[in-house]
């Protein structure tokens, strides 16, 4: 791998943002790939607003949408900001000789992208990846063992939602398709039944009393049943910044990259028996 490692992180939610930020601060040339507007509603916990606003600062690091090649190269080479790419997957993975690809996107019903052989090192976060087949290394993001590194095989499913990092919030779902127009601000105290915004003429109301940790962008297109807001009821709940779980996983990714760059070969316990 090259002395100056170039890394492409797929995804723009809380975990992907934490990983990209950590790798950027570690001195690597990092970019984010997000081909469509992110649906992340916890916008104080991610770089998500950079996609629409053009730039966003998250925990001291700036991400900027790179619409032009010069913007992409400026961020990648200077290290002043993390460029956000929205171009098709094939274009992004071939436009630069990436040393590392990190897929930090949340699990969906679709099969995981096959990353192996697209760069020197490919890392998949969460279930659905197979180390040695779809990617080189898998890192667990579940609550049982976040940050654990697998060099072969896959992560066992532990029931519904094993990758969910936060379960202390009350989600507010869109009652219909349309564009959400909010009337509140992230972090604002909310009472149960209070109007958070509208989809068309239909009011979207808070399902609990607490503070707004998540809120869809004003004017965002949402589908029926999609999360448009999240209310946290505990005064100790995290509603901004990076969670301990995401910080741990980001450190694990950075550690793996550093070990691979240094040519480290992990010790196999089987060889010691």
pLDDT in tens, 184-217: 999 999 999 999 999 999 999 999 999 999 999 9
3-class DSSP state for residue 172?
strand
Residues 125 and 180 in one domain: no
Residue 238 lies in a domain: no
Residues 184 and 205 in one domain: yes
Residue 237 lies in a domain: no
Residues 227 and 247 in one domain: no
Q: What is the mean pLDDT of the chain?
A: 89
Residue 272 lies in a domain: no
Q: How many domains does the chain have?
A: 2
* Predicted confidence (pLDDT) per residue in 27-41, tens digit: 999 999 999 999 999
CB 231 within 8 A of CB 169: yes
Residues 128 and 185 in one domain: no
Q: What is the CATH number of the domain that holds 228?
A: 2.40.50.100
Whether 3 has a pLDDT exceeding 70, the answer reads: no
Q: What pLDDT score was predicted for residue 4?
A: 76
Residue 189 lies in a domain: yes
Residues 54 and 182 in one domain: no
* Predicted confidence (pLDDT) per residue in 76-112, tens digit: 989 999 999 999 999 999 878 899 999 999 988 888 9
Residues 6+ apart with CB under 8 A from 73: none
Residue 273 lies in a domain: no
Residues 218 and 105 in one domain: no
User: Interior CA angle at 51 toward 49 and 52, to 5°?
Assistant: 75
The Cα–Cα gap between 13 and 125 comes to: 13
Residue 32 lies in a domain: yes
Residues 29 and 48 in one domain: yes
Whether 52 has a pLDDT exceeding 90, the answer reads: yes
The Cα–Cα gap between 235 and 75 comes to: 38
Phi–psi pair at 261, nearest 5 degrees = -65, -35
Q: What pLDDT score was predicted for residue 81?
A: 96
Residues 192 and 69 in one domain: no
The arrangement of strands across the sheet holding 195-199 comes to 202-205, 195-199, 178-182, 220-222
Q: What pLDDT score was predicted for residue 184?
A: 93
The Cα–Cα gap between 255 and 242 comes to: 18
- Residue 77's domain comprises 6-160+243-267
pTM of the model: 0.90
Q: What pLDDT score was predicted for residue 162?
A: 44
Residue 185 lies in a domain: yes
Residue 66 lies in a domain: yes
Residues 254 and 123 in one domain: yes
Confidence of residue 263 (pLDDT cuts 50, 70, 90): confident
Confidence of residue 160 (pLDDT cuts 50, 70, 90): very low
Residues 67 and 192 in one domain: no
Confidence of residue 271 (pLDDT cuts 50, 70, 90): very low
Whether 129 has a pLDDT exceeding 90, the answer reads: yes
Residues 149 and 213 in one domain: no
Q: What is the CATH number of the domain that holds 136?
A: 3.40.50
Residues 123 and 228 in one domain: no
Q: What pLDDT score was predicted for residue 272?
A: 41
CB 84 within 8 A of CB 47: yes
């Amino acid at each position: 791998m090259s002395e100056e490692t170039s890394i492409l992180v797929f995804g723009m939610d809380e975990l992907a943002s934490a990983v990209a930020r950590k790798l950027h601060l570690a001195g690597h040339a990092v970019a984010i790939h997000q081909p469509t507007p992110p649906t992340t509603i916890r916008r104080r916990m991610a770089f998500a607003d950079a996609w629409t606003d053009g730039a966003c600062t998250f925990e001291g690091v700036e991400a900027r949408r790179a619409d032009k090649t010069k913007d992409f190269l400026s961020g990648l080479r200077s290290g002043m900001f993390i460029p956000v790419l929205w171009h098709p997957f094939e274009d992004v993975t071939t436009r630069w000789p990436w040393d590392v690809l990190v897929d930090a996107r949340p699990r969906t019903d679709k099969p995981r992208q096959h990353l192996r052989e697209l760069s020197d090192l490919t890392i998949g976060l969460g279930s659905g990846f197979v180390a040695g087949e779809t990617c080189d290394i898998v890192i667990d993001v579940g609550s049982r063992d976040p940050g654990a590194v697998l060099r072969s095989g896959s992560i066992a499913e532990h029931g519904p939602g094993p990758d969910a990092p936060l379960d202390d919030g009350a989600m507010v779902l869109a009652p219909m398709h349309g564009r959400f127009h909010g009337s509140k601000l992230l972090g604002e105290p909310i009472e149960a039944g209070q109007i958070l915004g509208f989809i068309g003429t239909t009011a979207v109301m808070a399902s609990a009393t607490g503070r707004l940790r998540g809120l869809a962008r004003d004017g965002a297109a949402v589908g029926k049943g999609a999360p448009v807001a999240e209310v946290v009821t505990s005064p100790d709940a995290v509603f901004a910044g990076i969670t301990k779980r995401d910080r741990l996983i980001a450190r694990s990714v950075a550690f793996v990259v550093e070990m691979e760059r240094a040519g480290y070969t992990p010790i196999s316990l089987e060889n010691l028996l």
